[in-house]
Amino acid sequence: MDALARSIADVGLPHPLLVEAAREAIADSAPETARSRAEALASSLLRPVVNATGVLLHTNLGRAPVEHCSTARASNLEFDLSSGRRGSRQAHAASLLARATGAESALVVNNGAAAVLLVLATLAKGRAVVVSRGELVEIGGGFRVPDVLAQSGAELVEVGTTNRTRLSDYEAAISSREDVALVLKVHQSNYRIVGFTEAVGVGELSRLGPPVAVDLGSGLLDAATPWLEGGPPEWLAGEPAARQSLEQGAALVTFSGDKLLGGPQAGIIAGRRELVAACARHPMARALRPGSLVLGALQETALSYLRRDGRAIPFWRMATTPPEVLRSRAGALVAKCGPHLRAVECRSVVGAGSAPGTEIASFGVALAGDQTAALRGADPPIVARVRSGETICDLRTVDQADDLVLADVLCRLAAGREA
Ligand SMILES: *Cc1c(COP(=O)(O)O)cnc(C)c1O
């Protein structure tokens, strides 16, 4: 067993894991499978991949790509360098995000679901939360608004119907009971209700009395996108934004760090100072707090927004690359790898429940047949999709620096077809 494990040392796994692969192979009377077992284990480990799916925020591929370096040094995570006393974990990324959204204060937790849970548990436990029936959504990954409400200890009060909810529906619910703690508005995210519909805006809701919490989900900071030179792209139309929701009177907004914000996985609660402070004091906040790796990456993202430098945020750089640029990159790949590769028009999507139903014009390359398994086996693995019998690599979601990686693998596959 040990000799077999040593013979596959080049797979690069620690010896005990190679021994395990060898033991399983021998137990199955198939020692020749030791290598493939070890390789399968190696490829199950977390590693970078090239996202050629055309889905910019692919939840299975870690949503927004972020670059962040940190050294093995300590940090001033909770230490105030000017006074030398204990500081706050929310003094850096959270305070920059409060500035970027125009909020009085902000708090960072582990993800968007945690942000919603903490807001509800802090402000509405044992009391009523009014929500439109059109917004009792499931976001995916088991996040269902009614279930999260139940977990927080708040009582759900449904108003309106699936397609139409009016201000009078909210008014009736609020005046019929004494214990309404919050009006919750939830972004429908991954689906749209179209046709005979009616919903109530944040402005009107905020004049009803109880504080309004808006679960934005996708984390667009400002509908005016001052970090983009060309202003808001067409596909962003109708996407609710943090700054505008707060201006319209929302007491709190919650959103994810790794959707349209383009940062690491995190959840942000922003809004009125005393409400954010109450969330921070809740015992659950301690269990939901992020570490310095996440806060460091989020701080970088927040600084890029404050510099109005959308190009420094990989998500925005990719999402706003003009189609002509992608067309010429596709042309260059075809020129390099020959006639078995074809430049094709394709349509990218934002993903992660953001801007549902909208597409972004894009270009990519196509290769005949289903080559996705071979692409996944490359180093780094390339994740592509199949459309009408062809494998398509959408270049919008590929960093330009990775065109070389793509060329290397695609040229090999194209040459294989020639042979
Ligand atoms: C995505 C989303 C969430 C959950 O956020 P995570 O960061 O994935 O936990 C919650 N609410 C809405 C409206 C969302 O779109």
DSSP 218-265: S-B--TT-TTSTT-S-GGGTT--BHHHHHHTT-SEEEEESSSTT-SSS
Can you tell me the distance from the alpha carbon of 109 to that of 36, in angstroms, rounded to the nearest whole number?
40
To the nearest 10 degrees (0 to 180), the angle between helices 403-418 and 323-337 is 40
Q: Are residues 107 and 246 in the same domain?
A: yes
Output the CA torsion 226→228→230→236 (10° steps): -90
Q: Is residue 71 part of a domain?
A: no
| All residues at 6 or more sequence positions from 325 whose CB lies less than 8 Å from its CB, including other chains | none
Q: Is residue 5 part of a domain?
A: no
Q: Is residue 333 part of a domain?
A: yes
What burial letters (b/e) apply to 366-375, b meaning 16+ CB within 10 Å? bbeeebbebb
| All residues at 6 or more sequence positions from 388 whose CB lies less than 8 Å from its CB, including other chains | none
| All residues at 6 or more sequence positions from 369 whose CB lies less than 8 Å from its CB, including other chains | 389, 390, 391
Q: Is residue 297 part of a domain?
A: no
Q: Are residues 269 and 128 in the same domain?
A: yes
Which atom of ligand 1 is least distant from the CA of 186? 13
Q: Are residues 105 and 171 in the same domain?
A: yes
Q: Does residue 187 line the site of ligand 1, with CB under 6 A?
A: yes
Q: Is residue 300 part of a domain?
A: no
* 3-state class (DSSP) for residue 207: coil
The predicted pLDDT at position 418 comes to 62
Q: Are residues 255 and 362 in the same domain?
A: no
Q: Are residues 328 and 284 in the same domain?
A: no
Which atom of ligand 1 is least distant from the CA of 353? 15
Stretches in the chain below the pLDDT threshold 70: 418-419
Contact at 8 Å (CB) between 72 and 64? no
Q: Is residue 24 part of a domain?
A: no
pTM, rounded to two decimals: 0.94
Nearest to 350 by CA among 396, 289, 402, 409: 396
Nearest to 257 by CA among 35, 101, 81, 74: 101
| All residues at 6 or more sequence positions from 311 whose CB lies less than 8 Å from its CB, including other chains | 317
Give the chain's length. 419
**Residue from 256, 261, 265 to probe ligand 1 pocket by mutation (most atoms less than 8 Å from CB):** 256
Q: Are residues 116 and 171 in the same domain?
A: yes
Q: Is residue 40 part of a domain?
A: no
Q: Are residues 271 and 335 in the same domain?
A: no
Range of the domain at 170: 90-290
DSSP 49-79: -EE-SSBSS-GGGTSS-------SS---TTE
The predicted pLDDT at position 74 comes to 95
Q: Which helix (H) or strand (E) holds 283?
A: helix 283-287
Tokens of 381: 């693995």
Q: Does residue 110 line the site of ligand 1, with CB under 6 A?
A: no
**pLDDT tens digits along 8-30:** 999 999 999 999 999 999 999 99
Domains held by the chain: number: 2
CATH of the domain at 352: 3.90.1150.180
The predicted pLDDT at position 104 comes to 98
- Measured CA to CA in angstroms, residue 300 lies from 156, 282, 398 at distances of 37, 27, 21
- Measured CA to CA in angstroms, residue 152 lies from 1, 155, 251, 399 at distances of 52, 9, 19, 40
Q: Are residues 125 and 263 in the same domain?
A: yes
Q: Are residues 267 and 192 in the same domain?
A: yes
Query: Separation of 120 CA from ligand 1 center, angstroms?
Result: 14
**CA 242 to chain CA centroid, nearest Å:** 16
Token look-up 């750089």 returns 317
Q: Are residues 265 and 411 in the same domain?
A: no
Q: Are residues 55 and 144 in the same domain?
A: no
Which atom of ligand 1 is least distant from the CA of 352? 1
Q: Is residue 21 part of a domain?
A: no
Q: Does residue 264 line the site of ligand 1, with CB under 6 A?
A: no
Could you report how far apart the first and last alpha carbons of the chain are, in Å?
Answer: 39
Query: Separation of 149 CA from ligand 1 center, angstroms?
Result: 14
The predicted pLDDT at position 4 comes to 94
Can you tell me the distance from the alpha carbon of 359 to that of 270, in angstroms, rounded to the nearest whole number?
29
